Chains A and B, each alone.
Chain A
Amino acid sequence: MSALDDVLSRARGLIGRWEDEDCGTMAVKEFCRYAAVVDDVDYLRRARAREAAGEPVEAPPLFLAATMSWEDGPAEEELQPDGLAFRESPCTQGLPVRQVHGGQAVRLTRAPLAGTRVTASRAVTSAERKHGRSGDFVLLGLSTRFISPDGTELTAVDETIVVLDALPKGTSA
């Protein structure tokens, strides 16, 4: 069985099994750091002015969708050779594969506000073996739903991950 067959088998066993992750309580500082990195100075000014006035502060629209993980760790020694945590690289643990992001669809229902506790529910939704220009690959579909404590969906993300065989040492893509 090849590494891609293993990925496919693991993924098919996970389809439809939703797991929750606590994203913690949203904070203005996190929002502003995100805005600063993408050079959105107007957001910074507005957010801090609203905070100073005691008004609700909305997150930047793609803040939740862009954040890859809400975990504290892992420690560096537990990362995979490509730098990702196992949890961020579904179905590939210990396998000689690499992955690239295929694309994403983000639907915003309600902007999260600073002070709101958010939960991310995630599941593998599809797994298919494909063949393309660069050879065989597995296309994984993942869904994440960000939810507020009252059960309201804030943001929905559907994305695809392309899993390919690792490159032999000394070669490049």
Chain B
Amino acid sequence: MNTPAAVGDVCPPRRYTHSRVQLFRFSAVSWNSHLIHYDAEFAATEGFSDVVVQSTLHGQTLTRYALEWAGSDACLESVSWRNVATAVAGEPLIWSATVRTVAPCDSGVRVTLDVSVLRDDGAPCVTGHVDLTCRAARTSP
């Protein structure tokens, strides 16, 4: 965030994919052994075209890009999200965010973002909110 955040600001979107290798490694590091995340054959029995992105990996992505947007002085206060549709390995995804609120707080400015993970066609996979405090940012006049 190079300029002060204002309500309604749209953050630059981020485009990315999760590889099968990343999903496997995320399952390993988070001790999540559900087959749907690393066994494509099992995922197919549940109707999915490939292994499924973990909900907590979506949460990680929502948070990480929000922190990158806010800058190095930003601190995560909370994040919440709802899973709307499934995303799979290799699927092009878009992190999207809009500034919902900006308010002064003891440590600087508290910014709440409405965040989403969208499919290439704009349909949401995940929707939620990220609350950050930013020491360096200022509220808009």
- Chain B 6-40, CB-CB to A under 8 Å as 1, else 0, gives 00000000000000001001101111111110010
Task: Tell me whether B80 and A66 are in contact (CB under 8 A).
Answer: no
Size band of the interface chain B makes with A = 35 or more
What are the residues of chain B within 8 A of A101 when measuring CB–CB?
54-56, 83
Size band of the interface chain A makes with B = 20 to 34
CB contact under 8 A between A62 and B79, given known A34-B29, A37-B25, A40-B64: yes
- The answer to the question of A50 belonging to the interface, with a C-beta cut-off of 8 Å to chain B, is no
Task: Tell me whether B81 and A103 are in contact (CB under 8 A).
Answer: yes
CB contact under 8 A between A37 and B29, given known A100-B83, A106-B59: yes
Q: How far is the CA of A101 from the CA of B81 in the complex (A)?
A: 11
Task: Tell me whether A104 and B81 are in contact (CB under 8 A).
Answer: yes
Task: Tell me whether B45 and A68 are in contact (CB under 8 A).
Answer: no
Residues A44-88 near B (CB distance < 8 A): 61-62, 65-71, 79, 82-85, 88
- The answer to the question of A108 belonging to the interface, with a C-beta cut-off of 8 Å to chain B, is yes
Task: Tell me whether B83 and A82 are in contact (CB under 8 A).
Answer: no
Can you list 26 residue pairs at the A/B interface with Cβ under 8 Å? A37-B25, A37-B26, A38-B57, A62-B56, A62-B60, A62-B63, A62-B76, A66-B56, A67-B31, A68-B30, A68-B31, A79-B33, A82-B42, A83-B35, A83-B42, A85-B33, A101-B54, A101-B55, A103-B55, A103-B82, A103-B83, A104-B56, A104-B59, A106-B80, A108-B76, A172-B46
Residues of chain A touching chain B, judged by Cβ–Cβ distance below 8 Å, are: 33-34, 37-40, 61-62, 65-71, 79, 82-85, 88, 98, 100-108, 167, 172-173
Q: 5 additional contacts, CB 8 Å, given A34-B30, A67-B31?
A: A68-B30, A98-B46, A101-B83, A108-B77, A172-B47
